[in-house]
Structure 1
Amino acid sequence: MKTTILSLTFVILCIGSASAQTENEIIQLSAKKWQWMSDKNVDSLSVLFHDKSDFVHMGGTWGKAREIDIIKGGFIWYKKAEVYSNAVKFIGNTAVLLSDMDLVAVVGGNDAINSFMVTEVYVKENGQWSLAQLTFSKLSRPVKLKTN
């Protein structure tokens, strides 16, 4: 009986540790993505973005090729993403990341700072995570980021 309880405890701890590790992997991947977007690193983004990915912005919705063109051409420059909290949920080979954040961007040549809840959907295929969907939902809370 004691051995069974110890074995079950070990299994539960291992599952919890693997889950936390996978959550951290998604959060770190997202952080890299924000840096690549800031750096306009379209080569790394092209690998990360799934070929069937969608991007939902305040000004429209489009796919991977258009998002890459927008970043490359500087129509939207994601200067800084200040993330305050993250929550990750897994459904099979899909990870959904919700991030409460402030985004400093240049959009069409104009500076913009907005508070967003950003939804990122990642799918794991052939052992690799790809970004399948990115949605910006404007929050009614004030911007927390100090810009001075």
Structure 2
Amino acid sequence: PKPPPKPAPTTPIVLETLQGNWVNSIGAKISVNGTEISLNGMVMKVHPVMLNEDGTVSSVGRIWQMKGWLEDERIEFKEAPSKEVMEFARSVVWTRATEEKMEQWTEQMARLGYAGSTKDVMNRGIEGCCPGTCDAKA
């Protein structure tokens, strides 16, 4: 049986909290180094970690707005360009990229078709994740 989730932390989410490797609920690998964010190995120069005046995390550029802690030390962001429009936006949840989590992530991505040559984001063909799904002759 799976153990019950750990309660959500109550500490502020500051820049130091985000440092390191994460995976998110939409399948991306994330790396945070200072205010720089890499998404699937690509640095997102125009979307750095943004801080509030008190040093807490406000957003990742203009794509993810900080919502707060969830159980099991996960962090919820809202996919929105600003706080003013984030209320009904899709949630994107970050989970620490532990060895166990990465095994689960790799298995899930393989089940979704992201295996073999599709694992290399920079060298995928135009067909996306499934070779042969783009019929250029049609």
- Considering the TM-score relative to the shorter chain, is it more than 0.5? no
Q: Which structure is higher in helix share?
A: 1
- When normalised by structure 1's length, the TM-score is 0.29
Larger Rg belongs to: 1
TM-score normalised over the length of structure 2: 0.30
In terms of fraction of residues, the more strand-rich structure is 1
